[in-house]
Structure 1
Amino acid sequence: MISLNEGIAVDAAHSVKNRKTEFRGVDLKTGKTLFYSDLGNQTINIGEFLAIVEAVKYIIEHDYQPKIIFSDSNTAISWFKNKRTASGKRNAKLMKAEIYLRAIAYWIDEIQVVKWDNKAWGEIPADFGNK
């Protein structure tokens, strides 16, 4: 059974006005922000995908338990599972993320990525509140 009180919640935000895409990861147990990144002008899907990849890195580097990541983005979860994006925008961060996922496939197979159900559970705790 999945607990909504443990794991890492990730989310991204994109502002067309400010031409800024950012993402972050939040520890569900403590509410503490574990990581944050400003990507410049990208897309929301790129931000969501890179947030998942950053959460994977965090789990591996810190032996974080439980090995579970929550994201409300079907697209990012699909890209993660395929270890490849379908974005027409190509940049170094995306390419590095894809290579990283393929290189550490053995370790990430034990990391669970779960779709956060905003309707049933409310906004994901990593949400930027920009809506």
Structure 2
Amino acid sequence: MEFQCVHTKDGAPIFHFGPFPVGTNNIGEFLGIVEGLKYLQKENKLEMPLYTDSQTAISWVRKKKVSTNLERNEQTQKLWEMIDNAILWLENNTYKNPILKWETTKYGDSKADFGRKR
């Protein structure tokens, strides 16, 4: 699993993490949102929207917790560190950026996807 953030206009990369040996799409989407919020806060772009095609990840961000069956083990240790840090960041920070559902049926696959959907 890996995740990235790109500009919606042209697909220019903003950041990229991974690949991780084990993970899920929703975890990647969740971490992408939180890393995106951190980036936008740092860049003082406090009202710029973030898009994801995962309603689950949006829900996790709003609840400030993830609901996953991903085991905590040596293979997932780095990923769980990132998840725990993301939750901690959400608990200790506020943001105004709208988190919006990317409508794949309207716009096609997100430019942040890696072109691997079947």
- For Structure 1 versus Structure 2, the TM-score category normalised by the shorter chain is 0.7 to 0.9
Please, which runs of 5 or more residues in structure 1 have no aligned partner? Answer: 1-20
Question: What RMSD in Å do the two structures reach over aligned CA positions?
Answer: 1.5
3-state DSSP class of the match of 2:33? helix
**Alignment coverage as a number of residue pairs:** 108
Contact 1:39 1:47 in 2 (8 A): no
TM, length-normalised to structure 2: 0.84
TM, length-normalised to structure 1: 0.76
Distance across 2 between alignment mates of 1:28 and 1:95: 28
Q: Which has the higher helix share?
A: 2
3-state DSSP class of the match of 1:28? coil
Corresponding position of 2:83: 94
Per-residue CA deviation, residues 95-130 of structure 1 (Å, 9 max, x unaligned), is 11101001003xx1x110000110011111112101
Q: How does 1:1-131 map to 2 (within 5 A)?
A: 21-40=1-20, 41-64=22-45, 66-89=47-70, 90=72, 91-105=80-94, 108=95, 110-131=96-117
Per-residue CA deviation, residues 44-86 of structure 1 (Å, 9 max, x unaligned), is 1111100001100110011136521000001101101111111
Corresponding position of 1:5: none
Corresponding position of 2:76: none
Distance across 2 between alignment mates of 1:114 and 1:96: 22
Please, which runs of 5 or more residues in structure 2 have no aligned partner? Answer: 73-79
Contact 2:6 2:111 in 1 (8 A): yes
Letter in 1 for 2:6: V
Residue 29 of structure 1, CA deviation: 3.5
3-state DSSP class of the match of 2:51? strand
Distance across 2 between alignment mates of 1:58 and 1:84: 20
Distance across 2 between alignment mates of 1:98 and 1:66: 21
Letter in 1 for 2:2: E
Q: Which has the higher strand share?
A: 1
